Amino acid sequence: MSRKRTPDQKSTENSTAETPTPETSTAVAEPPATETKADAPSFAERVGQRKWVTTADPFGIAHDNLAGVRLFESRQDRQMAIKFDEKPSRAVLDTLRDAGWVWKQADRIWAHAITPESAMSTRINAERLYQEVRQMIRQDKGIEAGQEVPF
């Protein structure tokens, strides 16, 4: 029959089995756990939980409400995009294709990739193409040209 012993009870039987050996009685303090790079607080957390404001992506560059055309840039997708409110004429579509723009059915946009080597020239050419397409649509709709704010 065995019974449980509490720490304050002393046992007279098998006293050699319960005495700790020198190897098990030596306590070694473990070094504190160091933070890994994944667990380390970010820069924003270190400076008082301040959050950085990011720009919306894609962000609008130009918009013509009357013509129903918008120019966007998406830095995440690395592309310039032109979006129409309604399907443009065949001449406008041919102009976009001739300039190297492709139709993306899922997003319903005309897009042109931005490469690091030609980023600035791609943005400039996209702005010029947007202005050309916008004028073509305005002529098709019979809207007279006026002072326009591109944003």
pLDDT tens figures, 40-49: 665 545 545 5
Query: CA Rg, the chain, in Å?
Result: 35
Buried b (16+ CB within 10 A) or exposed e, 38-71: eeeeeeeeeeeeeeeeeeeebeebbbbeebbbbb
pLDDT band at 60 (very low <50, low <70, confident <90, very high): confident
Cα pseudo-dihedral 102, 105, 140, 131, rounded to 10: -50
- Show the tokens assigned to 97: 């294709």
pLDDT for the residue 143: 83
Percent of residues, the chain, with pLDDT higher than 90: 39
pLDDT, position 123: 93
Helices (H), 26-118: 43-46, 90-98
Average pLDDT over the chain reads 76
Work out the average pLDDT over 40-69. Answer: 68
Contacts of 5 (CB under 8 A, 6+ apart): 11
pTM for this prediction: 0.60
Q: Is 5 helix (H, G, I), strand (E, B) or coil?
A: coil
Q: What pLDDT does residue 77 have?
A: 85
The rounded distance, in Å, linking the Cα atoms of 111 and 101 is 5
Q: pLDDT digits over 80-120, tens only?
A: 999 999 999 999 999 999 999 999 998 899 999 999 898 99
Q: Please give the C-alpha separations between residue 86 and each of 83, 95, 98, 118, in angstroms, as whole numbers.
A: 9, 16, 20, 30
